[in-house]
Structure 1
Amino acid sequence: MSSSHPRQSSVDLDSPGRPFDNIINFRDVGRTINQLIGKRVLKEGILFRSARLDDASERDKRRLVDEFHISTVVDLRSSFLHIDKDTVPNIK
Protein backbone atom coordinates (compact mmCIF):
# COMPACT_ATOMS: atom_id res chain seq x y z
CA MET A 1 0.00 0.00 0.00
CA SER A 2 1.59 3.26 -1.05
CA SER A 3 0.88 6.74 0.12
CA SER A 4 0.62 9.86 -1.99
CA HIS A 5 2.21 11.85 0.83
CA PRO A 6 5.64 11.14 2.30
CA ARG A 7 5.22 10.53 6.00
CA GLN A 8 7.60 11.40 8.78
CA SER A 9 8.24 8.12 10.53
CA SER A 10 9.84 9.25 13.74
CA VAL A 11 9.57 12.04 16.23
CA ASP A 12 12.06 12.43 19.05
CA LEU A 13 10.48 14.63 21.67
CA ASP A 14 13.71 14.76 23.63
CA SER A 15 15.57 16.35 20.73
CA PRO A 16 16.37 20.08 20.76
CA GLY A 17 14.09 20.53 17.73
CA ARG A 18 11.07 19.20 19.60
CA PRO A 19 8.36 19.04 16.95
CA PHE A 20 5.27 19.87 19.02
CA ASP A 21 4.44 22.69 21.39
CA ASN A 22 2.00 20.85 23.65
CA ILE A 23 1.65 17.25 22.46
CA ILE A 24 3.70 14.86 24.54
CA ASN A 25 4.76 11.26 24.02
CA PHE A 26 4.03 11.35 20.26
CA ARG A 27 5.59 8.45 18.39
CA ASP A 28 5.32 6.22 15.37
CA VAL A 29 4.01 2.85 16.58
CA GLY A 30 5.51 0.99 13.61
CA ARG A 31 8.97 2.40 14.19
CA THR A 32 8.79 1.73 17.93
CA ILE A 33 7.86 -1.93 17.38
CA ASN A 34 10.42 -2.40 14.60
CA GLN A 35 13.20 -1.00 16.79
CA LEU A 36 12.07 -3.07 19.75
CA ILE A 37 12.22 -6.40 17.93
CA GLY A 38 15.13 -5.50 15.66
CA LYS A 39 13.47 -6.06 12.30
CA ARG A 40 10.82 -4.42 10.17
CA VAL A 41 7.45 -6.08 10.72
CA LEU A 42 5.17 -3.03 10.71
CA LYS A 43 4.91 -0.27 8.14
CA GLU A 44 6.17 3.00 9.57
CA GLY A 45 4.43 6.36 9.25
CA ILE A 46 0.89 4.95 9.40
CA LEU A 47 -0.11 4.63 13.07
CA PHE A 48 0.94 7.17 15.68
CA ARG A 49 0.20 7.44 19.39
CA SER A 50 0.49 10.24 21.89
CA ALA A 51 -0.73 11.49 25.20
CA ARG A 52 -3.86 13.62 25.16
CA LEU A 53 -4.39 16.11 22.36
CA ASP A 54 -6.62 18.42 24.40
CA ASP A 55 -3.86 20.98 24.91
CA ALA A 56 -2.50 20.87 21.35
CA SER A 57 -1.60 24.32 20.05
CA GLU A 58 -2.93 25.54 16.70
CA ARG A 59 0.55 24.87 15.27
CA ASP A 60 0.45 21.32 16.66
CA LYS A 61 -2.95 20.71 15.06
CA ARG A 62 -1.76 21.98 11.67
CA ARG A 63 1.32 19.76 11.83
CA LEU A 64 -0.73 16.65 12.63
CA VAL A 65 -2.79 17.20 9.50
CA ASP A 66 -0.27 18.80 7.12
CA GLU A 67 2.95 16.95 7.98
CA PHE A 68 1.80 13.62 9.39
CA HIS A 69 -1.38 13.43 7.25
CA ILE A 70 -3.42 12.28 10.23
CA SER A 71 -7.10 12.05 9.32
CA THR A 72 -8.53 10.01 12.21
CA VAL A 73 -8.00 10.19 15.96
CA VAL A 74 -9.03 7.26 18.14
CA ASP A 75 -9.24 8.26 21.77
CA LEU A 76 -8.85 5.23 24.03
CA ARG A 77 -9.33 7.12 27.28
CA SER A 78 -12.36 6.41 29.44
CA SER A 79 -15.19 8.94 29.24
CA PHE A 80 -14.11 10.24 32.64
CA LEU A 81 -10.77 11.34 31.17
CA HIS A 82 -12.16 13.01 28.03
CA ILE A 83 -11.92 16.77 28.04
CA ASP A 84 -12.59 17.97 24.50
CA LYS A 85 -13.18 15.54 21.63
CA ASP A 86 -12.99 18.30 18.99
CA THR A 87 -9.37 19.27 19.59
CA VAL A 88 -8.10 18.78 16.04
CA PRO A 89 -10.20 20.19 13.19
CA ASN A 90 -10.65 18.22 9.94
CA ILE A 91 -10.11 14.93 11.73
CA LYS A 92 -12.79 12.34 12.36
Structure 2
Amino acid sequence: MSRRCELSGKAVATGHKVSHSNIKTNRRWLPNLNQVTLQSDVLGRSFRFRVAAAALRTVDHRGGLDAFLVKSDDAVLSTRALKVKKQVVAALAN
Protein backbone atom coordinates (compact mmCIF):
# COMPACT_ATOMS: atom_id res chain seq x y z
CA MET A 1 0.00 0.00 0.00
CA SER A 2 1.56 3.27 -1.10
CA ARG A 3 1.73 6.37 1.03
CA ARG A 4 -0.47 8.42 -1.28
CA CYS A 5 -3.76 10.18 -0.65
CA GLU A 6 -6.50 8.64 -2.80
CA LEU A 7 -8.35 11.93 -3.26
CA SER A 8 -5.69 14.63 -3.51
CA GLY A 9 -2.68 12.66 -4.75
CA LYS A 10 -0.49 14.02 -1.96
CA ALA A 11 2.53 11.71 -1.55
CA VAL A 12 5.87 11.41 0.23
CA ALA A 13 8.21 14.38 -0.27
CA THR A 14 11.97 14.05 0.01
CA GLY A 15 14.71 16.53 0.77
CA HIS A 16 17.55 17.30 3.14
CA LYS A 17 17.72 17.91 6.85
CA VAL A 18 20.33 20.67 7.16
CA SER A 19 22.27 20.91 10.42
CA HIS A 20 23.77 24.04 11.93
CA SER A 21 27.12 23.06 10.37
CA ASN A 22 25.35 22.76 6.99
CA ILE A 23 25.63 18.95 6.81
CA LYS A 24 22.86 17.61 4.60
CA THR A 25 21.13 14.36 5.56
CA ASN A 26 18.38 12.77 3.51
CA ARG A 27 14.90 12.83 5.02
CA ARG A 28 11.28 12.24 4.07
CA TRP A 29 8.08 14.14 4.81
CA LEU A 30 5.17 11.70 5.09
CA PRO A 31 1.58 12.80 4.41
CA ASN A 32 -0.86 12.63 7.32
CA LEU A 33 -2.95 9.72 5.97
CA ASN A 34 -6.06 8.44 7.73
CA GLN A 35 -8.42 5.58 6.89
CA VAL A 36 -11.86 7.22 6.63
CA THR A 37 -15.35 6.22 5.56
CA LEU A 38 -17.04 8.87 3.43
CA GLN A 39 -20.77 8.87 2.64
CA SER A 40 -22.00 9.49 -0.90
CA ASP A 41 -25.40 11.22 -0.83
CA VAL A 42 -26.11 10.63 -4.53
CA LEU A 43 -25.28 6.91 -4.49
CA GLY A 44 -26.63 6.31 -0.98
CA ARG A 45 -23.65 4.27 0.23
CA SER A 46 -20.31 4.75 1.93
CA PHE A 47 -16.76 4.28 0.68
CA ARG A 48 -13.49 3.72 2.55
CA PHE A 49 -10.52 5.78 1.43
CA ARG A 50 -7.02 6.48 2.68
CA VAL A 51 -7.08 10.27 2.78
CA ALA A 52 -4.74 13.03 3.92
CA ALA A 53 -6.08 15.27 6.68
CA ALA A 54 -5.86 18.32 4.41
CA ALA A 55 -7.93 16.56 1.74
CA LEU A 56 -10.51 15.59 4.35
CA ARG A 57 -10.93 19.25 5.30
CA THR A 58 -11.33 20.08 1.61
CA VAL A 59 -14.06 17.43 1.25
CA ASP A 60 -15.94 19.07 4.13
CA HIS A 61 -15.38 22.55 2.68
CA ARG A 62 -16.73 21.60 -0.76
CA GLY A 63 -19.87 20.05 0.69
CA GLY A 64 -19.21 16.32 0.81
CA LEU A 65 -17.69 13.50 -1.19
CA ASP A 66 -19.91 13.92 -4.26
CA ALA A 67 -19.14 17.62 -4.73
CA PHE A 68 -15.43 17.00 -4.14
CA LEU A 69 -15.22 14.21 -6.74
CA VAL A 70 -17.17 16.12 -9.39
CA LYS A 71 -14.92 19.16 -8.99
CA SER A 72 -11.59 17.31 -8.73
CA ASP A 73 -9.22 16.52 -11.59
CA ASP A 74 -9.06 12.91 -12.82
CA ALA A 75 -5.24 12.90 -12.81
CA VAL A 76 -4.92 13.21 -9.02
CA LEU A 77 -7.58 10.64 -8.09
CA SER A 78 -6.75 7.00 -7.44
CA THR A 79 -8.33 4.31 -9.60
CA ARG A 80 -10.85 3.46 -6.86
CA ALA A 81 -11.82 7.12 -6.43
CA LEU A 82 -12.09 7.53 -10.20
CA LYS A 83 -14.59 4.65 -10.37
CA VAL A 84 -16.67 6.28 -7.64
CA LYS A 85 -16.51 9.62 -9.49
CA LYS A 86 -17.82 8.03 -12.69
CA GLN A 87 -20.71 6.47 -10.75
CA VAL A 88 -21.55 9.82 -9.14
CA VAL A 89 -21.45 11.69 -12.45
CA ALA A 90 -23.67 9.05 -14.07
CA ALA A 91 -26.15 9.24 -11.18
CA LEU A 92 -26.27 13.04 -11.35
CA ALA A 93 -26.89 12.91 -15.11
CA ASN A 94 -30.05 10.84 -14.63
Could you say which TM-score interval applies, normalised by the shorter chain? under 0.3
Structure-1-length-normalised TM-score:
0.26
Instruction: Kindly name which structure, 1 or 2, has the bigger radius of gyration based on alpha carbons.
Output: 2
Name whichever structure is richer in helix by fraction.
2
More strand by share: 2
